Structure formats: C-alpha cells, structure tokens
A and B are shown apart, each in its own frame.
Chain A
C-alpha cells in the first residue's frame, strides 16, 4: 500500500477543460475591468457608525479580506512548524551514527528533515567560502536576497504611485505619466521576484562569482525518496533520505506566496494600463491604496517566509 501511495500520480484533468476554465476567468476579468476603467470616484460609499465611521467601505472590506489571508498563511506556517519540529533533522541523525534519537537505526529511504536553507545556502556541494571572495556568504542566497529587496522596494513604489495620484498641484498628463511609471516599476519588481524564484527552483543561478544549481538539480523535489545526504564534515558517511515531506512543505508554502505575487501582477497589469489611459485622479486614487494594502501584506508575508524557509 505504501508503495502504491508513493508512486501514484493522479491525472487531474486534461488541457481542453483547463483552457475553457481560463477562458471563463479571463472573460470575467475583462468584463469587470471594462466596467471599472471608467470609474471616476464619484460614488465612494463611506462607512457609518462605530468603529469605522467615515472610512471608505471598500477599505474596510480589504482589511477584512486580509484577516482571512492572515489565517491562510497561519495555516501554512502551522503545517511547517508541525513538520519542522516533529521530524528529526538528517544532520542530527547522521551525527548520531545513523540512528534516530529514540534509538531506532536509520534505514535507507526513511524520512528525515533537510531544510531548504541547506540547499539554498549552498553548504552541501559548493565550497561556499569561495563565493564573495571568501567572505563566507552562501552563494544561492543571492536571488533570495534580491527578491527580498525587490519586494520591499515595490512596496515603496506603490506608495509613491498613491501619493502622486493624490497630488492636486500636477497637471493631469504629468500626474498620469508619473503614476503609470511608479506602477510599472512595481510591476517590473514583482515580475523580477517571480522570475528569480523560477530560476532558483528550475534553472539555476550562474552570474559571476555567484553560482549554484537549481533546487531541481539538487534533487530537492517532492518525489525524491533517495537523497544521498552527506551533511557537513563526515567524509564517506551519508544517509539515503526521503525528502518528500520537507520539499512539499517548502514548495507549497513559498508557492502559495508566489501565487499571491502572481495575483498582484495581474492586478498591477490592469492598473498600469488604467494609469496609462489617464484613469487615476485625486478623486479615485484610493483604488491604488486598496491594492497597496494587499501588496504590503504580500510583502510582509515574504518577510516571514524568507527567514523561516531560506535562512533557518
């Protein structure tokens, strides 16, 4: 039974039905946006009564939505904490002469935990002291670090877009141009984030002194049941570890964050288009603020995901 469970991959569907689904979603978006593109902010309903008096109702809605998003990532972190703390680390087992802490000997194919940071920090295969001229910074952390700054800067540019859109002293053309540029910068940074993520997962990074194989090449995949883990400083000794659990946790948690970035990219594409057409004025600039709230949240989640999955 276990064997069957390991090897089964269900076919979830086929291409035509997926395409039909995409067509329906895209047409829904287009209809929604066509109605929104002319929105001038002439009717922005305000909240009445305690505690949100005179706050835009749409803003209250966004905050409520973020409450749900917080629970989404809390659940993913619960999964992560449960498995991180409940699964013994491969390094500890190796140090303990291939024995679990309860005395059971490790047999090849048993599950143990290798954190993603082990592969990302590069200490497993490359001599990481060589990178950065011997400063000892782990090499593949570079795309992750760029990503972190990209997201933080994109949070800043979206705020600048909002501030510019609210400025009454600029004439309409100049304001639209600036708002568009700020939004386009945000869009580029978000795309850069996802691109580096794909490089990190599938392609591998090889620029100047910073080079490291992708996680796929490392064998950090959800199907790998026989990873030869050699740890640090043990020469010939190694464990044949089952990596499926730690890889599943890593890919799904960071993948969910990536999906949120992707959702932001779809929204940003439309907003850049609307700004290009001169759609934002001080009267409806709050729309950018609503998106900004979501975007700050995505940024904030990355600030938690990054240390949990990339550093620790």
Chain B
C-alpha cells in the first residue's frame, strides 16, 4: 500500500502540473490573456453603450470580404456618459479592436497598433469613433472583438465610466468552407499528449499482460509499474534509456521524411519556410540529444557494469535522476511544435538569432530543455567516471578493460569536460531571452561568435561522444565475430584517448568562415587533420583483426562491416573541411550534410544497430531473428548510400542546407546565382525515395525486436562466443548483476584451471545457426 500511496501522490502532482501548464505563456500573446488588450473602466459592461463597426462611408459591414483587400472601417460607439455628461467633447472614450485574422494598419494619429491589436492613442481620446484600415487574409472567417469605453471626461477610470463589447464577423467570398474557429495550438498539444499517454498506458498494460497471461491481475500491476518508474537498477534504467531513445529516433526520422518530401521536387510548397525551420531544428536536436545519446546511455548502463564486473553503477539513484530528467527535457524541447511556435534556430542555436525577438517563443523552452539535458549528462558523467575508475573487478587493471568500456569512459570524459561550457552558453542565451541581459546582443557590444566558441567547444567533442561508443561496439563485435582478441589492443586504447584529447583543440573548423583570426584558423586546420591519425589506426586495427581471425557472418558482423565502409567514406569527406579554402567553398552546402550523415548515420546508427543485434539476447534472454536482420541490413545499407552519396554532388553544385526549397536553372547556359543544374531535381527525388525505403527498413528491426521478445528462441548465456564478463552471467542477468563478483585472471592461467575454456570462443560449426 505504501508504494501505491507514493505513486498516487506523484501522479497527482503530475496531473496538477498539467492542469496548470496552460498558464505557461507559450504564445506571444499569452494564453491566459489572449483578448484582454483593453483596460476596461469599471466592473461589468453597461447596456447603454452600443459599439458599432461599419465601412468608412457609413454603410453596414459586409458579410464577406475579398481576399487580400484593404478595407477602410469606422469603429466607435454611441450612448453612455460620453454622450450625456461631457460638454467640451474632450476625454470621451477609447476602444480596443482584435481581429482573429487579417492585419490592421493605423491610418492617423488617433489610433495605434499594440501587439497586432488596434487601440486608441493619447490624442484619440477625444473621439467617439475612429477610422481604421484592415487587410483581409487569404481565406477563413475573421471575427472582430470591439471593446469600447464611454468616458465621462473626468480623466479618472471609475465606475462613472461605462464600457461594452461586441463581436463582428466577415467571411471569405465563396471558396473553401472554413471551420468557424482554428484549432488552438496548445489545445492540440495537450490533446496529443493525453492521447499519447493513453496509448502508452495501453501498451504498458499489454506488455504486462503478455509477460504472464494467466496470472494477470490489476493488484499486481501497480507494484510492477511503480518498480519501473522508481527503479535504480542499472539494467532497468538502461532499458528505459533505450526505449526513450528509440522512440525519439522514430520521431526524428519522421521529421526527416517530412523534410525530404518537401525537397523531393524544386519549388515545392508541402512545408512552409517556417515549418521547415522548426523541423530541421528539432530533427537535429532530437537525433543528437534525445535519440543517439539516450541509446548510447542505454547500452552503457546495461553493459559497462557487466563488463567491468560491478553489481551496479556507483550512484544508482543519481543514475535514475539522470534518466528522468530526459523525458521532461524532451517535452520542453518539443513544446511549441503543435502550435507552430517551436524553436527555429537550428540545432546549433547560432546567435544572435536565438536571442532575437523574432524567434519563436518555443526557442526559450528549447533552451530550457537543453539546460536540463546538460544537468542529466553531468550526473551521468559523474556516475560513469566514478564507476569505471573505482569499481572494476579484482584483476582488471586499466589495460584489461574491454574496449567498449574504454570507449564509454573516453566519450563520457569528453562530454563531462565540455558540456559545462554549453550549459553556461545556454544559461546566457536563456537570460538574454527572459530578462534581457546583453551577452549576445550586438547593439550592446555582445559578441555572437562567443556563443559559437562556447557551443563548438562542446559541440565538437559531442560528435566524438556519440561516435566513440560506436567504435567500442565495433571493436567488440568484430573481435567476437573474428573469434579472436582485438588486434593491437593497446594502440586501440591510445587511439581512443588520442581522439578524445584532440577533440578539444579542433572545434574551430566549424567556425572557419565566422571571422576568427587567421592564425587560429591555421592552427585548427592542422589539428583537425591530425584527427585522421588515431582514427586511421583504429580502422587498420579492425582490418587486421578480421585478417588474422576467422569471420562468422552474423547480422551484427554485417552492421560492423557496413560501419567500416561508410565511416571510412565519411572520414574521407571529412578531410575536405579542415582545408580552409575548401571549407569556404563547401560551408553550409549539402556536402556538409552528406559528410556528417555519413559519420553519424553510417557511424553511430550502424554501430547502435550492431549493438542491438549483438546484445539483445543478453538483455532479454531471447534471440533475434537472423533472417529478418540480414534483410534489414541489406535494404538499409543500400538505401542509406542512396540517400547520402548523391548529396555530395548536390553540395558541390551549391545546394545550400537549411533552405526549405531550391530552384533549377532554366537551361545549361543560364547562370542565376543560387539555382541548380536541371538534373538536381532527379537526384533529389532519388534521395527522397531512398529516405522512405531506409525509414521503412527500420520498421523491420522494430518488428523483429517485438516478435522475438514474445516468441523468440531462448538465448544461452554466451550465444556468440564473446569472452568479456557480460557473457559470464545468465541472459538476462540477475539483480544485482552478479551473484558473485567475477575475478579477471590471465588466459593461460584460466586455461590450466579449466581446460578447453578457450574453445568457448570457437563456436563449432553445427551450433552456428543458434537462432533458426
């Protein structure tokens, strides 16, 4: 019962928060204050004042309007104290006019525009009617809300003044039937959230039911769900991280497909400019912060304690807190998308646009959400660094740690040291937006390039933060699949550490065109080129591992091999950017898009897919279906290259990124700046088709995971012949993760104690098809 009470308390707090949330001013006008504009004199409206609204010539307001036409209107009132008490016709009244659609213009000095609403000015105080101009919208019904004050002339707002409010409407001439009222963005957002919560609840109940169909009871459900919500077990939190990451992987993918639909043909109008800006901002933010990093954290949570032989992470409760900051942050980052007011600043949030008044209010929430993610990453960093530094099993020195754990350590170190700079930059930007500090305000002497420095000091290590774990995964997968130890273990560790160190001194190559000093640009050019050295060492070590071993082609092996190809290609295109002259030419083109998708999708996502196929049996105790896995790999690998390879060409032609559309040259001789050769249209359509194929192929993997979870073959403790500690426990592992802490001993000693131990690495041929 204790648990139930706590659960109810937390749930009711969340509910109260959601009820109060609409008072958040997510819209510029303020949700609780939409039509208040007027400072109405006295308490309730009076019936003796009657507002009117006519055309300027005095004829009645027509029922319909012509789209885009400007109407001269006359608004005013009759009756009230202004008519009966004021003798000299001074200080007689005021008005406020709000239109649901269309725009107002002030025609003389008796009226003024305030936040899109029209109201009287100081000099308009002495009138009882005012002339206004209204330009009609393209379509729809516009309702006008007119509020008037009839004033008795004593210059004091008091009960002696009277006021009234009326509504007038005009509809568009003929055409498409429009709903009477547009959906309110926040209503849609909260409806969507409630809908998603209900669907999520049904899904969770279904999972609970499937686990034990015969013993299902509601009494057992509450403790089960409370255990997931409050668990501090590293495996459960790892699963939560992973599921959250996978969910946002789908969300980011859908955004990408919407953008690709827009770009399929030149001059398309599927998305507006405004929508496109928000979509690419959220696509970038979601894919890096809400998809890739949680999924990596999921694997790190699951595997690192198992690989180093620890029962759990050092600070389990901090681990839970680091995760639970994520869902809240993701809601903040996404907020505004349903009311078309989400952040539209790019995932880099360049200044001064992020601190500019014209940026959507969603940018404030986007920054707030990112600050929470910074907190989450810091907490996770403390946890992992402490765990790896102080909780290794007896006998496991630094140079005996598996490479995946090494890669997590180096990547978390990079993240941990760099992310405070990002956090401080975000706080400065947040204060710029909320209390008008002047950090990035050019007119007050602020320097937008400072943001670029703070951001990229974090941003460049960040891309290594997501790629290094993929290196670790590929090292594990290739060594296991080649049925031998990794070639050049020490050089692999030094290369990882080298990449981690170099990542801090190369970030300037993102800013070569931002007006940095030439000396600094030259330094950044040289250091950036140096990144290729440790990366090259890793690539050759992987090749040599396969060369000396005897490769088994599992699905995870295929993904690792695919990673080698695509990551190397991405690395080669990356070598174009440090060259300053080349960078100036290629900056902000699709060549850049092609490059970083080759390393982020071909590197990180392929690595994560390999990890899913490799560790899924360990996590769930069920084997994945190999045949579906191979089909998934083949479709995804081919369509992936189909998406991003042609982008190199488009970039060289000058197609710019972050633009919602593009236009073609009329013929090969016309040379209008910014237009593309005619064949660019075909390539863009080709890319879009491939993008949809790639997106659909991921559905295969999700289906595979769900079906295998329910009726997959039971997995043995060590299905692939891996030799690190995680394969020593059962699949899935117990809680705490080891019944007895393992001890790492030398291979030869082990072989003496337990003859044929080494043979476990060599899976006999007749046992190879474990999954079928």
Using a CB–CB cutoff of 8 Å, the interface residues on chain A facing chain B are 1-2, 4-14, 16-17, 20-21, 23-24, 27, 32, 45, 47-52, 55, 57-58, 60-61, 64-65, 67-69, 71-72, 74-76, 78-79, 82-83, 86-87, 110-113, 222-223, 225, 242, 244-245, 247-249, 251-252, 256
C-alpha spacing A115/B457, complex, angstroms: 27
Are the CB atoms of B434 and A20 closer together than 8 Å? no
A selection of 26 A-B contacts at a CB cut-off of 8 Å is A1-B356, A4-B357, A6-B444, A10-B433, A12-B364, A24-B17, A27-B13, A45-B314, A50-B398, A55-B390, A60-B389, A61-B315, A64-B382, A65-B378, A67-B416, A68-B378, A69-B420, A72-B424, A75-B454, A244-B438, A245-B438, A245-B439, A245-B441, A248-B431, A248-B437, A252-B427
Contacts of A8 in B (CB 8 A): 357, 436
**Given A78-B454, A79-B450, does the pair A5, B428 have CB atoms closer than 8 Å?**
no
What residue of chain B has the Cβ atom nearest to residue A72's Cβ? B420
Inter-chain CA distance A83–B424, complex, in Å, is 15
Given known contacts A111-B445, A242-B445, A17 and B17 CB-to-CB distance under 8 angstroms: yes
Q: A-contacting residues of B (Cβ < 8 Å)?
A: 13, 16-17, 20-21, 23-25, 30, 32, 314-315, 317, 352, 355-358, 361, 364, 378, 381-383, 385-386, 389-394, 396-398, 416-421, 423-425, 427-428, 431, 433-439, 441-447, 450, 453-454
Minimum CB–CB distance from A282 to chain B (whole Å) comes to: 23
Chain A min CB distance to B233 (Å):
17
Complex: how many Å from CA A111 to CA B431?
19
Contacts of B437 in A (CB 8 A): 222, 244, 248, 251-252
A57: contacting residue among B24, B364, B390, B433, CB under 8 A:
B390
Give A256 to B427 CA distance when docked, in angstroms.
10
B396 touches A111 (CB 8 A): no
A8-B436, A20-B13, A252-B437 as given contacts; A47 in contact with B389, CB under 8 Å: yes
Question: A83 and B447: CB pair below 8 A?
Answer: yes
Across-interface contacts of B439 in A (CB, < 8 A): 79, 245, 248-249, 252
Question: Which are the 7 A-B pairs with shortest beta-carbon distances?
Answer: A111-B445, A47-B390, A244-B438, A71-B420, A75-B424, A248-B437, A244-B444
Main secondary structure of the interface of B (DSSP, over half): helix
Interface class of chain A by DSSP: helix
- Residues in A with CB closer than 8 Å to B418 are 71
- Which residue of chain A is the closest to B418 with respect to CB atoms? A71
Complex contact A9–B436 (CB within 8 A): yes
Which residues of A lie under 8 Å from residue B416 when comparing CB positions? 64, 67-68
Q: Which residues of A are found within 8 Å of B424, using beta-carbon distances?
A: 72, 75-76, 79
Nearest CB of chain A from residue B695's CB, rounded to whole Å: 36
Query: In the bound complex, do residue A17 and residue B431 qualify as a contact, i.e. CB atoms below 8 Å apart?
Result: no
Question: CA–CA, A122 to B125, complex, Å?
Answer: 48
**Bound CA span A242–B32, Å:** 35
> Known contacts A17-B21, A47-B390, A57-B391; is A245 also within 8 Å of B446 by CB?
yes
Q: Please, which residues of chain A bring their CB within 8 A of the CB of B315?
A: 58, 61
Does A17 contact B382, Cβ atoms closer than 8 Å?
Answer: no
Q: By the criterion CB–CB under 8 Å, are A68 and B420 in contact?
A: yes
| Closest-CB distance, A56 to chain B (whole angstroms) | 9
- A255: min CB distance to chain B, Å: 9
Chain B residues with CB under 8 A of A65? 378, 382
Residue on B nearest A82 in the bound complex, by CB? B450
Q: Do residues A71 and B421 form an inter-chain contact, with CB atoms below 8 A?
A: yes
Q: Is there an interface contact between B397 and A49, defined as CB atoms closer than 8 Å?
A: yes
Q: A244-B437, A248-B437, A252-B431 are in contact. Are A17 and B24 (CB under 8 A)?
A: yes
Q: In the assembly, what is the distance between CA of A27 and CA of B16, in Å?
A: 15
- Give Cα A47–Cα B314 distance, bound, in whole angstroms: 10
Residues of A within 8 A of B454 (CB): 75, 78-79
Q: How far is the CA of A134 from the CA of B361 in the complex (A)?
A: 54
Which residue on A lies nearest to B13, using beta carbons?
A24
Which of A16, A24, A45, A64 meets B381, CB within 8 Å? A64
Q: How far in angstroms is the closest Cβ of chain A from B246? A: 27
Q: Answer whether A75 and B420 are a contact pair too, CB < 8 Å, given A6-B443, A10-B434, A248-B438.
A: yes
In the complex, which of the residues A48, A58, A86 has the most CB atoms of chain B within 10 Å of its own CB atom? A48
Q: Are A75 and B425 in contact (CB under 8 A)?
A: yes
Interchain CA distance A222-B428 in the complex, whole Å: 13
Q: Which residues in A have their C-beta under 8 angstroms from that of B446?
A: 83, 245
Structural contact, A16 and B20, CB atoms closer than 8 A = yes
A65–B355 Cα gap in the complex (Å)?
30
Q: How far is the CA of A245 from the CA of B357 in the complex (A)?
A: 18
Residue of A nearest to B6 (CB): A31
